[in-house]
Chain A
Amino acid sequence: MFLRLAIKSLQNRKGSVMMTVVAIGVSIFVLLGIEHIRHQAKKSFASTVSGVDLIVGARTGSLNLLLYSVFRIGAPTNNISWESYQQIISDSNVAWAIPIALGDSHKGYRVMGTNANYFQHFSYGNQKSLKFSEGGGFEGVFGVVLGAEVARQLGYSLGDKLVLAHGVASTSFSLHDDLPFTVVGILEPTGTPVDQTLHVSLQGIEAIHVGWDRGVQLPGKGLTADNVKDQELTPDSITAIMLGLNSRMAIFTVQRRVNQFPEEPLLAILPGVALSELWQMMGLFEMTLRLISLIVLVSAVLGLGAMLLASIRERAQEIRLLRVVGAPPLFLFLLIETEAIVITVFGIVLGVAGLSLCMVLVQEVLSARMGLHLDVLTFTAESLILIGWVLAATFLVAAVPSMSAFNNAKSVVGKALP
């Protein structure tokens, strides 16, 4: 009867109650949404690369190197000469090396030049290595292996021919259209930037750039498909190297050697350390987001309190009636509190439902555009604690109108002067 009274009373004030439920719902949406994306982004970023001990690139900030080599975000500052590459991988501590050459693209997806080591040694998530869903690694010069998302979005299958573009803009006017590549392999989805990448051999990258100078193709100097085989296709330079070492103990030795490389200024980073630097940088941003979502929530809860407080005035007669049938003041206090909690619970349900729906809709876009893989909304202990706090805040704020009802209901003790 108690809960029925609270719910029917709320139904009776549908308009203002619905607005308040929506306000609470929106704030829950923002709060849990930010929390979820924060978690997922961390998980997604952290699982992008594993098993790589060092990443080597031209001297730059360690974050910059991490971002362009692993996440394909931003642009490399400089290249590593082929001689330096040879020298570094000849180090006895180096077990394997993956050379990376970036700078070209295909319909907005980045192209990465590498070698067979990539498919053999690169791993992501919990030491998962790359697998082919179709085909295999590139044998010839003009083979291309597609990330799962590239193949899906652009509808390529094995044997299709495609043309790379110079530069990384999504619409490029300088195409390497004289030398098309053939799809020889498609990778299984990984939920990492690998899905958004086209992989070609270093020789292929070199071949399409013969006869190019400063980003422009010089007429008559390029290769044709026929004379490619006569050429020595050793690249002059590459963008970065991922290194796997024989022993983890050697990481700092190799790192120091790279950082003090005499021929050119290089930088070696530990991916894990660079990632934690990334979190530190994001920390302030995260705090700001959480603070904003908290403020949104506080204002929604205060709105709820204001709505209930205003309703107490309108309900003076209801309170008098309840009193006359014998309701103690505590009953009225709890009635208003219950109404507040019911509103918040509905708000939470609305917010969570909206967020789940949004996640399903946004998943696709985020995965395709940013390589960010979001799981569907799950309740972590942290988000349950947040919901607990929301309910506690509701109870606290609703204490104001509830006390008002309580005081309205108390018997007035008369005082007559003698």
Chain B
Amino acid sequence: MAIQLDHVRYAYPEAPEDVVLNISEWSVSDGERVFVHGPSGSGKSTLLNLLSGMLVCREGCVSILGERLDKMSARQRDRFRANQIGYVFQQFNLMPYLNAIENIELAHIFSHRERKRGGVKRAQELLAALNIVPSDWYKPSSRLSIGQQQRVAIARALVNKPALLIADEPTSSLDQENRDNFMSVLMSLATENAITLLFVSHDMSLSRDFGRTDALADVNRSR
């Protein structure tokens, strides 16, 4: 299983009575592509932060690729995330003052695969595959268009060859053309690299590309 949640209950330490996430059982198998939708406030960020190990729950078990995130040390979780999980946000996916290559390299240095070697070369391959022209590789990423930035973000997320890619509303700041472009490269790269894809969005029109669609309200029974 790529993702396996069992009897997970989570409340933020400042408000322990307010259980924001209560999932009795939810899983995603290896290589599956799941589209998750839900209104804001449905516990979406909490779920994604739990899956990436940015939050840790003390009740229930969270296992990713067969490993128990809640049993790992903080250091192990950080390393696991660097190596195994790619993550694309809605915005601010790149350090604005670093260029595309540097942003991808930055993600690469925290992984232990290939020990920092070949980071630039892999970055260039990925950028080329994502249709970013070489003249844009060395511009500060704040000077790239939003569409380009989101595609560089895919490269940044995939540089360490993760097994799981989490995309958190990655298309909501894109126009129609850029969105289609983004979706097609994302899908082809996910297929190419046999990556499990968890895609969260409220744009239901995108769900046709996915084999499975879950409503977060059904998964999370906290309210």
Interface residues of A (CB under 8 A from B): 1, 4-5, 8-9, 11-12, 317-318, 320-329, 331, 410-417
Interfacial chain B residues near A12, Cβ < 8 Å: 96-97
Interface size class of B (residues with CB under 8 A): 35 or more
Interfacial chain A residues near B19, Cβ < 8 Å: 416-417
| Residue contact A5 to B11, C-beta cutoff 8 Å | no
Q: Which of B16, B55, B81, B94 contacts A412 (CB 8 A)?
A: B55
A324's nearest neighbour on chain B, judged by CB, is: B87
A12's nearest neighbour on chain B, judged by CB, is: B97
Which of A321, A323, A410 neighbours the largest number of chain B CB atoms within 10 Å of its CB? Answer: A321
Given the interface contacts A8-B98, A12-B96, does A1 sit within 8 Å of B107 by beta carbon? no
Interfacial chain A residues near B13, Cβ < 8 Å: 412-415
Interfacial chain A residues near B1, Cβ < 8 Å: none
B9's nearest neighbour on chain A, judged by CB, is: A416
**A-contact bits for B1-39, CB 8 A (1 contact / 0 none):** 000000001111100110100000000000000000000
| Residue contact A326 to B98, C-beta cutoff 8 Å | no
| Residue contact B10 to A414, C-beta cutoff 8 Å | yes
| Residue contact B74 to A416, C-beta cutoff 8 Å | no
CA distance A9 to B98 in the complex (A): 8
| Residue contact A9 to B78, C-beta cutoff 8 Å | no
CA distance A283 to B59 in the complex (A): 67
CA distance A411 to B49 in the complex (A): 9
Which of B102, B105, B110 neighbours the largest number of chain A CB atoms within 10 Å of its CB? Answer: B110
B70's nearest neighbour on chain A, judged by CB, is: A413
Is B161's beta carbon under 8 Å from chain A? no
Q: Which of B9, B54, B57, B97 contacts A323 (CB 8 A)?
A: B54
CA distance A11 to B74 in the complex (A): 31
A-B contact pairs, 22 of them (CB 8 A): A1-B109, A4-B102, A5-B95, A8-B102, A11-B97, A12-B96, A318-B95, A321-B89, A324-B81, A324-B87, A327-B78, A329-B74, A411-B53, A411-B55, A411-B77, A412-B55, A413-B56, A414-B56, A415-B11, A415-B12, A416-B9, A416-B10
Interfacial chain B residues near A320, Cβ < 8 Å: 92
| Residue contact B57 to A326, C-beta cutoff 8 Å | no
Interfacial chain B residues near A412, Cβ < 8 Å: 12-13, 54-56
Interfacial chain B residues near A415, Cβ < 8 Å: 11-13, 16, 58
* Nearest CB of chain B from residue A334's CB, rounded to whole Å: 13
| Residue contact B106 to A5, C-beta cutoff 8 Å | yes
**A-contact bits for B206-219, CB 8 A (1 contact / 0 none):** 00000000000000
CA distance A257 to B100 in the complex (A): 88
A331's nearest neighbour on chain B, judged by CB, is: B110
Interfacial chain A residues near B221, Cβ < 8 Å: none
New contact pairs (14) apart from A321-B94, A414-B55, A416-B59, CB-CB < 8 Å: A1-B105, A8-B95, A9-B95, A12-B96, A321-B95, A325-B87, A328-B74, A411-B56, A412-B56, A416-B10, A416-B16, A416-B57, A417-B16, A417-B19
Q: Which of A9, A326, A414 contacts B82 (CB 8 A)?
A: A326
| Residue contact A414 to B52, C-beta cutoff 8 Å | no
CA distance A9 to B58 in the complex (A): 36
Which of B83, B92, B94 neighbours the largest number of chain A CB atoms within 10 Å of its CB? Answer: B92
Is B121's beta carbon under 8 Å from chain A? no
* Nearest CB of chain A from residue B7's CB, rounded to whole Å: 11
Is B151's beta carbon under 8 Å from chain A? no
Given the interface contacts A9-B97, A415-B11, does A325 sit within 8 Å of B58 by beta carbon? no
| Residue contact A413 to B58, C-beta cutoff 8 Å | yes
| Residue contact B11 to A416, C-beta cutoff 8 Å | yes
Given the interface contacts A325-B110, A414-B55, does A8 sit within 8 Å of B97 by beta carbon? yes
Interfacial chain B residues near A329, Cβ < 8 Å: 74
